[in-house]
């Protein structure tokens, strides 16, 4: 897990590891700490994933992560969501 202090929050739950990894990549591109948590044997057995795939972020990054994800779901991200 990328969060060293152990304080993680579940940002969202998605249906596949691929979707989760895409979201994690987006968040990391903004410098946020994010990871995927899935119980699917490392992606080898996706049918075992009955609880969905959790996208985790560091607690300190939660507000920024939610803003970025909301902007992406609205169809676009601009420089205002980067936190700069």
The structural domain count of the chain equals 1
Q: Is residue 44 part of a domain?
A: yes
| pLDDT of res. 81 | 46
Per-residue pLDDT tens for 2-26?
A: 556 678 999 999 988 889 999 999 9
SS3 83: coil
Q: Per the domain annotation, does 59 fall within a domain?
A: yes
Quote the crossing angle between the two packed helices 62-73 and 17-29, to the nearest 10°. Answer: 110
Q: Is 53 inside any structural domain?
A: yes
**pTM (2 d.p.):** 0.75
Q: What is the pLDDT of residues 38-61, one digit of tens each?
A: 876 555 565 656 678 999 999 999
Residue 14, CA distances (Å) to 4, 20, 21 in order: 24, 6, 10
Q: Is residue 24 part of a domain?
A: yes
Confidence grade of residue 1 (pLDDT, cut at 50, 70, 90): very low
Residue 84 lies in a domain: no
Domain of 62, CATH number, reads 3.30.70.1530
Structural domain of residue 14, as residue ranges?
8-77
Q: Give which of 9, 4, 1, 5 is closest to 61, Cα–Cα.
A: 9
């Amino acid at each position: 897990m990328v969060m060293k202090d152990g304080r993680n929050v579940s940002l969202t739950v998605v249906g596949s590891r691929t979707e989760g990894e895409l979201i994690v990549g987006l968040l990391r591109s903004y410098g946020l700490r994010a990871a995927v948590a899935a119980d699917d044997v490392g992606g080898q057995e996706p049918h075992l994933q009955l609880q969905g795939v959790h996208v985790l972020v560091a607690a300190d990054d939660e507000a920024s992560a939610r803003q970025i994800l909301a902007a992406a779901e609205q169809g676009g991200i601009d420089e205002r969501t980067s936190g700069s």
